[in-house]
């Protein structure tokens, strides 16, 4: 039976809270030679990890037999990686070779430095082996012991810089995220921590986030604890033009938008479940249209309850989304609450004013709705001038 | 026992206001249970899954007012998936069948559809008051139904709901014969509302005392409305953008000047600073002021405005008021009881304008302060200790340090001592939210001193199971406990399972509790409703792309906010849903 080397218990330490690590890094410049354990231990103020350790050891002892099985899971990542991306442009990281795979697994989770791969190996395998049984909650619980810590867990210790592709992998899920993040770039621990400390106060944003909220985020879900409409207040409030020029408004909105990933809800007529799409991932309407199709194709086909070959029919539904010629049309709601056809304004303006998207049946588009929006915009502009 | 006529008991029981007291009365004996049951007019259901709607309706056939709460509090912060539940439909249906005399319905964090609203509007001929707080699932079409069919409607109060905009016609559906409105609040509506229909409505409702507009109502309309309704007590302005020194602006000042009864102001959507001057005439009368929707107004203007409001009891602001602004509040608003300071720059890595200094100033200047919600970037133990000493009357104390696990910046220590001082000093504390770097010690303090505590919110705190156990052991009156991202596991969860029967609800997410632990709890306490939310978020990417069940679960654990565990303590007539 293959058993992986067990790390001495003492070497295991729970992921540090980002701030602790931050302080730690700030106070002592990064010292890759020092064992990760000690530094973390100090910084964390001796955070008790007894629960962790117990669970970990259990996992290792009882599930030794599961380890090979577990390893099987990981190569299957090629399936995972190849899975179609929700946002357009994602590419599978299929180019990983085996040694990379190993590196990826081993890289998981121990904060505090690139060293100590052995411990990381044990740690990660422990996680997975626990998860392979029904104690999925345990894996979840341990792996995600805190939103902030989880963020660090994912982002820490990968010493390559993160390319744009990798970001798009993140939305595939935390697991994939961990895999792909291993390809991240140099200076990563610092970068990760800096991001984390950026993210933590901000709560919902990190400079480079493009992942959907469902993927375990570096920004913490549901933090700070304020209602969503309050989060959007500053960025969406329209400054009166007597005080700001229109350019400034746009610029400020763009700037605000750049600080966070631009996730908007999108619903499609006839489909009860909505989706979210990150507009930062695209730079033109064509790509958006493609992405919309990707998002809803499966759901629409399932809805119609059609056999395989009628997927074509479902695909057809998405032709002509932008020009009104197709079965469905893409519309959006802007920051003034008006419903607008997608494609009427330059992409940048669209991104800075869009609040949510809808895929409407073209037959439902009434001139009335859009006309009302147009006339209100007119009066609004007039009253501002 | 001496014969005690039930009529007398009923008469006495009618004096009991609180639901808790009436519940207690009903447990004394069968006779008293009957008296309470038949005489109870106002029914409060704190958790919609704790009891079946039919049971409530059968037990209280003379019910006139029904309040139901649905989703857990953390749903406000997107921690609960949309399709979790909290549906109003079964409640409205049951009431329609069993209590046609219903006059008031108040729902919080529930899902209510247009069909539900239609049913509501047709089923209760005496219906007077609909209050929806943080609800969703309906559109302006549903509002149209209410407006059309609820004759004699007195109150339509929509607070912070997610309402789909299907046009502005709904307001015009109030018939010309509708003259009974006392309170109308549509501030949360995102779309346009027919301003002239609104003006006519206001004109024919002489009893209107509370009116809250949404951002689509321009100032010109506000002028006309104020002219028609000078007796308004509570006003939420619409859009507050005005041209500099225009006639509209002057008329606005006059309008406000005439509103001698105005005590509460909110709204100020898109307000620009100088527009606030229009409000100066009535500042001296204001007891409630909510400026938290106006991010464009900066400290100087806020400060100036607040400087006139010396009768203020409740103030909601954004943190751009700054510490200096809070000092002015402290020196002006000696009657202040409730203060909420919201963060204005959530996404920036920037510096918030309020620190512990502002809070200390408020505490020393406002001795009547009893309710606080304060978002800041940092807090010190010294400041909290001072605040505790200055304000021993806190009943609600919610401090949110925006960066999780941030210690005292001066001493680098956890904030255990600061919060400890708060719970020691504030003997009447009923609600507490803690933040910053906290160890198990703070929970020891909370367990020891917070005797009256009913609701506790914890995030990113604690070291071990002991923390949670301290709280469960110590806080005798604890009803709601919500925990996220803390290292509390099965041992803590299962330590004292009987405790949960004295509580309304427990929420744990991103903690160390396992599925096995939850199952164990459910097995030990069959009368508890133990739920696991396996968050899929409705966006079934993983379902689409991954066929292997094993992988699906695994993946979800990493992607989702982990297994969320929420359960409720309940009545014998429980609806048990175990969702895995």
Any long-range contacts for A376-384 (C-beta under 8 Å, 24+ apart)? A376/A336, A376/A338, A376/B192, A377/A336, A377/A338, A380/A336, A383/B218, A384/A240, A384/A241, A384/A242, A384/B241
> Which of A13, A18, A144, A206 to mutate against chain B (most B CBs within 10 Å)?
A144
Tokens representing B214 are 């949404």
Closest Cβ opposite residue A146 in set B78, B348, B485? B485
> Taking CB atoms and an 8 Å limit, are A145 and B554 in contact across chains?
no
In terms of residues, how long is chain B? 580
Q: Are A384 and A293 in contact (CB under 8 A)?
A: no
Q: Which residue has the tokens 């020009």?
A: A323
Tokens representing B564 are 């969320």
Contacts of A260 in chain B (CB under 8 A): 347
> Taking CB atoms and an 8 Å limit, are A237 and B270 in contact across chains?
yes
Q: Which of A337-351, B74-88, B307-321 has the highest mean pLDDT?
A: B307-321
Taking CA–CA distances from A239, the nearest residue in chain B reads B270
Q: What pLDDT is attached to residue B529?
A: 72
> Taking CB atoms and an 8 Å limit, are B555 and A173 in contact across chains?
yes
How many CB atoms are closer than 10 A to CB A346? 8
Separation between Cα atoms, residue A331 and residue B144, nearest integer Å: 24
> Taking CB atoms and an 8 Å limit, are B402 and A200 in contact across chains?
yes
Cα dihedral A39, A40, A44, A48, rounded to 10, equals -120
Q: Are A230 and B342 in contact (CB under 8 A)?
A: yes
Q: What pLDDT is attached to residue B331?
A: 96
Q: Is pLDDT larger for residue A56 or for residue B264?
A: B264
How far, in whole angstroms, is CA A52 from its chain's centroid? 26
Cβ contacts of A307 within 8 Å, gap of 6 or more: none
Contacts of B403 in chain A (CB under 8 A): 19, 197, 200-201
- What Cα–Cα distance (Å) separates residue A71 from each residue in A4, A68, A76, A98, A182? 11, 5, 9, 12, 17
Separation between Cα atoms, residue B557 and residue B422, nearest integer Å: 37
| Least confidently predicted of A207-221, B495-509, B524-538 | A207-221
Taking CA–CA distances from B399, the nearest residue in chain A reads A225
- pLDDT means over runs of 10, chain A (385 residues): 44 43 39 40 38 40 42 43 39 42 41 40 36 38 37 37 40 34 36 33 37 43 86 57 38 44 82 84 86 83 62 75 83 84 84 86 65 44 46
Q: Are A104 and A178 in contact (CB under 8 A)?
A: yes
> Taking CB atoms and an 8 Å limit, are A201 and B349 in contact across chains?
yes
Which residues make beta-bridge pairs with B339? B315, B372
Q: Is pLDDT larger for residue B555 or for residue A179?
A: A179
Got the DSSP string for A48-72?
--HHHHHHHHHHHHHTTTHHHHHHH
Separation between Cα atoms, residue A350 and residue A373, nearest integer Å: 15
Q: Are B275 and B242 in contact (CB under 8 A)?
A: yes
Q: What pLDDT is attached to residue B189?
A: 95
Closest Cβ opposite residue A224 in set B400, B414, B556? B400
Average pLDDT across chain B, whole number: 86
Q: What pLDDT is attached to residue A36?
A: 39
Q: Is pLDDT larger for residue B129 or for residue A246?
A: B129
3-state secondary structure B346-360: CCCCCCCCCCHHHHH
Separation between Cα atoms, residue B289 and residue B400, nearest integer Å: 21
Q: What is the pLDDT of residues B23-48, one digit of tens each?
A: 888 888 888 899 899 999 999 988 88
In terms of residues, how long is chain A? 385
Q: What is the pLDDT of residues B395-432, one digit of tens each?
A: 999 999 999 999 999 999 999 999 999 999 999 999 99
- What Cα–Cα distance (Å) separates residue B360 from each residue in B264, B311, B369, B387? 26, 20, 12, 6
> Taking CB atoms and an 8 Å limit, are A141 and B511 in contact across chains?
yes
pLDDT-derived band at B50, boundaries 50, 70, 90: confident
Percent of chain B with pLDDT over 90: 61
A45: left (phi over 0), alpha (psi -120 to 50) or beta: left
> Which of B468, B512, B550 to mutate against chain A (most A CBs within 10 Å)?
B512
Contacts of B342 in chain A (CB under 8 A): 226, 230
How is residue A109 annotated by DSSP?
S
Contacts of A216 in chain B (CB under 8 A): 558-560
- What Cα–Cα distance (Å) separates residue B54 from each residue in A280, A339, B61, B91, B527? 49, 41, 11, 8, 19
| Over residues B467-485, mean pLDDT | 93
Contacts of A198 in chain B (CB under 8 A): 349
Contacts of A372 in chain B (CB under 8 A): 167, 192
Q: How far apart are the first and last CA of chain A?
A: 79
| Least confidently predicted of A178-182, B89-93, B122-126, B203-207 | A178-182
Separation between Cα atoms, residue B130 and residue A305, nearest integer Å: 40
Separation between Cα atoms, residue A204 and residue A212, nearest integer Å: 11
Cβ contacts of A72 within 8 Å, gap of 6 or more: none
Q: What pLDDT is attached to residue B269?
A: 85
Given a cut of 90, whether residue B350 has pLDDT beyond it is no
> Which of B266, B349, B439 to mutate against chain A (most A CBs within 10 Å)?
B349
* HSE-up (13 A, CA, CB side) for residue A66: 18
Contacts of A52 in chain B (CB under 8 A): 512
Q: What pLDDT is attached to residue A296?
A: 84
> Taking CB atoms and an 8 Å limit, are A239 and B377 in contact across chains?
no
Taking CA–CA distances from B248, the nearest residue in chain A reads A383
């Amino acid at each position: 039976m293959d058993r992986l080397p067990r790390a001495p218990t003492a070497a295991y330490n729970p992921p540090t809270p980002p701030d602790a690590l931050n302080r730690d890094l700030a106070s002592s410049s990064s010292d890759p030679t020092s064992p990760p354990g000690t530094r973390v231990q100090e910084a964390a103020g001796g955070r008790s990890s007894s629960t962790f350790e117990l669970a970990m050891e259990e996992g290792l002892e009882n599930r030794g037999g599961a380890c090979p099985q577990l390893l099987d899971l990981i190569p299957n990542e090629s399936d995972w990686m190849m899975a179609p991306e929700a946002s357009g442009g994602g590419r599978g990281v299929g180019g990983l070779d085996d040694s990379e795979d190993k590196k990826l697994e081993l890289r998981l989770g121990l904060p505090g430095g690139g060293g100590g791969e052995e411990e990381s190996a044990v740690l990660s395998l422990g996680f997975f082996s626990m998860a392979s049984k029904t104690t999925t909650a345990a894996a979840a619980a341990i792996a995600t012991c805190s939103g902030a810590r989880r963020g660090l867990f994912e982002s820490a210790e990968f010493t390559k810089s993160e390319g744009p592709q990798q970001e798009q992998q993140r939305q595939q899920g935390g697991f994939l995220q961990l895999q792909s993040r291993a390809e991240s770039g140099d200076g990563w621990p610092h970068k990760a921590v800096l991001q984390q400390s950026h993210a933590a106060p901000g709560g919902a944003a990190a400079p480079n986030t493009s992942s959907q909220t469902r993927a375990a985020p570096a920004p913490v879900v549901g933090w700070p604890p304020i209602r969503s409409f309050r989060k959007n207040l500053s960025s969406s409030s329209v400054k009166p033009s007597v005080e700001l020029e229109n350019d400034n408004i746009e610029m400020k909105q763009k700037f605000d938008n750049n600080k966070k990933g631009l996730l908007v809800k999108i619903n499609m007529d006839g489909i009860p479940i909505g989706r979210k799409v990150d507009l930062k991932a695209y730079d033109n309407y064509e790509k958006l249209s493609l992405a919309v199709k990707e998002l809803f194709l499966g759901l629409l086909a399932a809805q119609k309850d059609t056999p395989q070959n009628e997927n074509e029919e479902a695909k057809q539904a998405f032709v002509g989304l932008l020009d009104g010629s197709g079965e469905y049309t893409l519309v959006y709601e802007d920051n003034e609450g008006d419903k607008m056809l997608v494609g009427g304004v330059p992409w940048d303006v669209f991104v800075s004013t869009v609040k949510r998207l809808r895929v409407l049946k073209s037959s439902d588009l009434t001139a009335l709705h859009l006309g009302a929006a147009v006339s209100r915009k007119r009066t609004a502009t007039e009253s501002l001038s | 026992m001496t014969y005690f006529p039930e009529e007398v008991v009923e008469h006495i029981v009618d004096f009991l206001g609180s639901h808790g007291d009436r519940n207690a009365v009903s447990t004394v004996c069968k006779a008293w249970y009957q008296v309470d049951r038949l005489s109870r007019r106002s029914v409060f259901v704190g958790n919609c899954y704790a009891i079946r709607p039919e049971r409530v309706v059968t037990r209280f056939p003379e019910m006139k007012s029904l309040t139901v709460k649905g989703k857990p509090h953390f749903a406000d912060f997107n921690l609960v998936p949309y399709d979790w539940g909290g549906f109003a439909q079964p409640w409205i249906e049951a009431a329609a069948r069993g209590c046609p005399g219903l006059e008031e319905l108040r729902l919080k964090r529930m899902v209510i559809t247009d069909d539900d609203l239609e049913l509501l509007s047709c089923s209760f001929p005496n219906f007077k008051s609909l209050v929806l707080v943080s609800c969703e699932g309906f559109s302006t079409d549903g509002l149209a139904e209410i407006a059309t069919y609820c004759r004699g409607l007195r109150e339509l109060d929509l607070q912070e709901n997610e309402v789909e905009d299907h046009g502005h016609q709904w307001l015009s559906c109030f018939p010309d014969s509708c003259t009974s409105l006392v309170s109308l609040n549509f501030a949360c509506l995102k779309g346009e509302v027919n301003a002239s229909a609104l003006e006519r409505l206001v004109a024919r409702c002489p009893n209107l005392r509370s009116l809250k507009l949404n951002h689509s109502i321009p100032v010109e309309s506000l002028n006309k409305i104020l002219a028609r309704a000078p007796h308004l007590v509570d006003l939420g302005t619409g859009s507050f953008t005005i041209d500099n020194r225009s006639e509209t602006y002057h008329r606005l000042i006059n309008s406000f000047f005439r509103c001698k009864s105005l005590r509460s102001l909110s709204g100020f959507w898109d307000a620009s600073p100088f527009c606030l001057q229009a409000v100066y005439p009535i500042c001296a009368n204001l007891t409630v002021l909510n400026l938290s929707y106006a991010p464009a107004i900066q400290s100087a203007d806020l400060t100036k405005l607040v400087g006139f409001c010396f009768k203020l009891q409740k103030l909601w602001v954004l943190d751009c008021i700054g510490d200096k602004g809070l000092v002015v509040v402290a020196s002006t608003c000696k009657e202040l009881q409730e203060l909420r300071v919201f963060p204005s720059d959530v996404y920036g890595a920037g510096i918030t304008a309020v620190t512990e200094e502002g809070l200390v100033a408020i505490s020393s200047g406002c001795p009547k302060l009893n309710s606080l919600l304060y978002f800041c970037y940092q807090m010190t133990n010294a400041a909290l200790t001072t605040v505790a000493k200055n304000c021993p009357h806190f009943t609600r104390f919610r401090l949110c340090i925006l960066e999780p696990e941030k210690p005292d910046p001066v001493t680098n220590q956890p904030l255990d001592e600061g919060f400890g001082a708060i719970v020691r000093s504030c003997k009447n504390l009923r609600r507490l939210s803690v933040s910053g770097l906290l160890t198990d010690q703070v929970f020891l303090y909370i367990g020891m001193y917070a005797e009256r505590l009913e609701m506790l919110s914890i995030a990113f705190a604690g070291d071990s199971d002991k923390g949670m156990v301290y709280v469960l052991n110590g806080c005798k009156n604890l009803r709601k406990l919500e925990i996220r991202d803390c290292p509390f596991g099965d041992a803590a969860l299962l330590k004292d399972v009987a405790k949960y029967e004295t509580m309304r609800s427990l929420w744990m997410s991103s903690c160390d509790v396992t599925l096995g632990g939850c199952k164990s709890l459910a097995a030990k306490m069959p009368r508890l409703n133990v739920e696991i939310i396996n968050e899929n978020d409705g966006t079934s990417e993983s379902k689409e792309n991954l066929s292997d069940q094993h992988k699906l679960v695994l993946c979800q654990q990493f992607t989702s906010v982990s297994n969320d565990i929420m359960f409720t303590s309940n009545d014998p007539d429980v609806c048990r849903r175990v969702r895995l």
